[in-house]
Chain A
Amino acid sequence: MMADLECGTLCSVIDNLEVGVIIINTERRVVRWNNWLAARNCHSAEQADGKLLLELFPEIVGSRLEMAIDHAIRDRMPSLLSPALHGTLLPLYQNAEDRKRNRRMHQLIHVIPLTDAPLQAACLIQINDVTATVSRERVLRQQAENLRRNSFVDPLTGIYNRRKFDELFALEFAKAQRQQKPIAMIMLDIDQIGAYTAWYGNEQRDLVLRDIAAELKAAIQPAGDILARFDNERFALALPGMDEKSACLFAENLRLRIGTLKIANESETEGKLVTISLGLAVMVPEASADTHTLLSSADVALYQATHEGGNAAVCFSVEEGNFHTCG
């Protein structure tokens, strides 16, 4: 029988703590095994007392826990075994039901050297049950995932994302169809964004995208107009109720407005400022019309503006089938 640890009141405290406590001596034999632990695995304090820890838990031979114990006893250095990397290292169960189903608890284990030589206590192993935290994290993660799927905002710019744009645009298009009112569609992008990024880097490019988005947002009607990040490079702007002449003026205004921001662009050989190109198309949708036609028309107009040198707003007239520069 091992000599009992002389600890009186303290032993009572150890035994009643709401964490697992194992104290082992330099021979790696158990000197203390508290109630919390006894209740959660198959060894009682009496059974564990004096036994080699590796005898009680043969599966930890060669494991990080065994090495951590060596580190504590030999080198007097404490170790941490995280649930992230080890999960369910020891055979501990929250209750009989879990034990039946072999569902171990998630454990956070600290191995701490004790330096009280006369007490024969060389090392403290503290075990926390973190199953609750793990499952709470799992719930939070699921909620975050749901939120992400239901979100409609582009994280960088704060304006609508593509998914939301598609949804809102479809609604407005259908309304315009019903009411036989015009709906204008503007596609725009930043000129030579690739060269800008190569010169200034990704983070700077992101800042410019954010600033331009903010400027565009300030320019539109918050109630009716739909501004969105269409994809990595393009913005989309739907303007229900606007006819072609007004939309053209509006597009040209946006172009000038971004110019007034005077964002430096050393990668440009001329002008040295960040500019945008815009493509515009307007429709009074027929009963048979669909959103794609309007989108492609605006896109083609944007293509035209870009390839005529950029820094321009071009309108594609769906009826006449031709391009003209706005302003």
Chain B
Amino acid sequence: MDLNELQRDALGEIFNIGVGRAASSLSQIVNDTVLLSAPEVTLVHRSDAAKVLLGSEFRQFSTVSQHFSGAFDAEAMLVFPESNALEIVRLMVGPHMSIEELSEFEQEAMCEVGNIILNACMSALADLFHLSLNGTLPIHRFGDTESLSFLEGDEQQMILVLQVDMTISQQRVQGHILFLLSVVSMQSLLDCLDNYLREQGLL
């Protein structure tokens, strides 16, 4: 299973709309400019996702996950290297904090940041595809690459990987968004996507 060029382009555009809206929300909280973009979408097998993440010398991760269900089932996960997560928290909560204070706030603040971004991405998808999706509340976890749960489990899982570029107050931070779906759910998603493209007269 793979994405053709038009599908990749369309998903990329839809997720960019999602993260764009998330950026608006975040900028209101921070009271400063926030830019978010998702320049690349790739579809990989679960086993290859590890390579994508590990390819960028990360060791410790900060992750926020939410589960979505409805027209398709997906586990959505925002993954930032730990140092980047602390940087985001520092930019959002305040520069005057010590490392200890930041670490305390990291759990909650990242939970909310993840919540905003993941909700925005999924609602962009749901809006454009005229779907109904239910979501769960965000869960935050720390871990290293070994402990990331998505690395275990069904070989048959597909993962949509988005690279995420976040700029807060002119500081640039990078991470990833992962959407884990079963082969069946992925097919549902692609069917919805093709329907959308057809409706728009692009297919």
Contact = CB atoms under 8 A, between A and B. Distances in A.
Chains A and B touch each other in the complex, with CB atoms below 8 Å apart: yes
Interface of A: 62-64, 67, 71, 75-86, 108, 110, 112-113, 115, 137, 141, 144-145
B29 A80 contact: no
Contacts of B92: 85
Interface in B77-116: 89, 92-93, 100-101, 104-105, 108-109, 111-112, 115-116
Contact of B115 (A62, A80, A115, A144): A80
B108 A84 contact: yes
Given A76-B135, A77-B122, A80-B115, 19 more contacts: A62-B28, A64-B28, A67-B25, A71-B119, A75-B127, A75-B133, A76-B133, A77-B119, A77-B123, A78-B136, A79-B137, A80-B138, A82-B105, A85-B29, A85-B108, A85-B109, A113-B134, A141-B101, A141-B104
B137 A78 contact: yes
Given A141-B104, A144-B100, A82 B136 contact: no
A81 B25 contact: no
B25 A64 contact: yes
A112 B119 CA distance: 13
B1 to A, nearest CB: 27
7 contacts: A63-B28, A75-B126, A75-B133, A82-B112, A84-B112, A137-B104, A145-B100
Contacts of B138: 80
A77 B135 contact: yes
The 5 A-B residue pairs with the shortest CB-CB distance in the complex, in nearest-first order: A82-B108, A84-B105, A77-B135, A84-B108, A84-B109
B132 interface: yes
Interface residues of B, number: 28
Contact of A83 (B108, B116, B136): B108
Given A79-B115, A85-B109, A137-B104, A110 B137 contact: yes
Contacts of A144: 100
Contacts of A67: 25
Given A82-B109, A82-B111, A84-B108, A76 B137 contact: no
Nearest to B138: A80
A78 to B, nearest CB: 5
Contacts of A75: 119, 122-123, 126-127, 133
Interface in B119-154: 119, 122-123, 126-127, 132-138
A86 to B, nearest CB: 7
A141 B104 CA distance: 9
A76 B131 CA distance: 11
A62 B28 CA distance: 9
Nearest to A137: B104
Contacts of A71: 119, 123
Nearest to A82: B108
A84 B109 CA distance: 6
A79 B109 contact: no
A86 B123 contact: no
Contacts of A84: 89, 93, 105, 108-109, 112
Nearest to B64: A80
Contacts of B115: 79-80
Given A64-B25, A64-B28, A76-B135, A81 B119 contact: no
B95 to A, nearest CB: 15
A235 to B, nearest CB: 26
A137 B97 CA distance: 14
A153 B10 CA distance: 56
Nearest to A71: B119
B105 to A, nearest CB: 4
Contacts of A86: 29
B103 to A, nearest CB: 10
Contacts of B137: 78-80, 110, 112
B92 to A, nearest CB: 6
Contacts of B25: 64, 67
Interface string B171-193: 00000000000000000000000
A75 B18 CA distance: 13
Contacts of A145: 100
Contacts of B28: 62-64
A113 B116 CA distance: 15
- Please indicate which of the listed interface residues A67, A80, A113, A141 has the most CB atoms of chain B within 10 Å of its own CB: A80
Contacts of B133: 75-77
Nearest to B113: A85
A233 B155 CA distance: 48
Contacts of B122: 75, 77
Nearest to B57: A201
B90 to A, nearest CB: 12
Contacts of B109: 82, 84-85
Residue in A75, A112, A115 with the greatest tally of chain B CB atoms within 10 Å:
A75
